[in-house]
Homo-oligomer: A and B are copies of this chain.
């Protein structure tokens, strides 16, 4: 088992990564100092892993709350319902919530924990590759608003992250690929060596080689932990993690959060950001080709969905959180392994990039 510490003073916490860690009550006992435990999961993960986790936590007599599966349940209504459950069970400020599932379950559970009685503890137990390398680490929690993704949320750090790589065996292929997109992101924004390692090991990862997955998750989490420790509340550096996300969120919004997975939208978003970085004269052609190559090897979609042809993507992008009163900030690449956050780019290159991808989709 691997252990990484996210250093945030008194809010520091461990990430545990390994096979069958879901069966280890000792790991959970390190932070569970209460008898009031609510496990939140969704209908899909419930069938696969809820019993396993409840058995592990048997001595805590945990309660279970199951959400419907899907991004559309990431809403204030579901938050309200979770809080109803907590109040009906008379759970106090000392209760602990456990999020068993992917990014949606983690974001909802984390935000419920952030606002219930102004903040209770929670543990992330991510069951998708994407959640294990990204959303479970760093304390970002949120639900969606009709006018924008993740617009209602909080920074609320978990007490621990428990990532069982065994559960990845049941992950659908598309979700594996979506997770690989976020893994590739760490190489692109700040870790050239890791990007090269990924180029060499991409087939092992696609074949779900457990040791390769553990290494990819560990190296991703180390990168994320360093960034989060330096900039918990995204006042600067942390914005690098949004590489591909401003384009990606616009795609997700254009599709009304349907059809595409978050990681797929981010995958194409990264490609679009790389393309724009090249047009801007920063990223060289060879690097752009390497990026296109690894993204297509993992079979991420690299063409906009037809449905988006009539959508004004520029308009959707400016609703993004990265928009400031000084204009839209984007994360762009100087080279592989070196990203920057900037609103100092030529607007024409953004238009050209959007046009290029719109034309390619016709």
Contacts and interface: CB of A to CB of B under 8 A. Distances in A.
A348 to B, nearest CB: 22
Interface string A289-320: 00000000000000000000000000000110
A249 to B, nearest CB: 12
A35 to B, nearest CB: 6
Contact of A87 (B34, B84, B114, B148): B148
Interface stretch (A15-23, A152-160, A203-211, A276-284): A152-160
A80 B143 CA distance: 11
Interface string A149-193: 011111100000000000000000000000000000000000000
A54 B155 CA distance: 32
B145 A80 contact: yes
B146 A93 contact: no
Contacts of A83: 145, 151-152
Contacts of A118: 140-142, 150, 153-155, 233-234
A344 interface: no
A337 interface: no
The A interface is mostly helix, strand or loop, or mixed, namely mixed
Contact of A115 (B146, B152, B323): B152
Given A79-B76, A147-B84, A233-B119, A92 B324 contact: yes
Contacts of A93: 321, 324
Contacts of A319: 87, 90
Interface in A57-108: 76, 79-80, 83-84, 87-88, 90, 92-95
Given A76-B80, A87-B145, A87-B319, A151 B117 contact: yes
A116 B111 CA distance: 12
13 contacts: A36-B325, A76-B79, A80-B152, A83-B151, A87-B147, A90-B319, A115-B115, A115-B153, A116-B151, A117-B321, A118-B150, A118-B233, A119-B155
B325 A116 contact: no
A81 to B, nearest CB: 11
Contacts of A84: 145-147
A97 to B, nearest CB: 14
Nearest to A140: B118
B153 A321 contact: no
A154 B154 contact: yes
Contacts of A318: 90
Interface in A226-257: 233-234
Given A145-B87, A233-B119, A34 B325 contact: yes
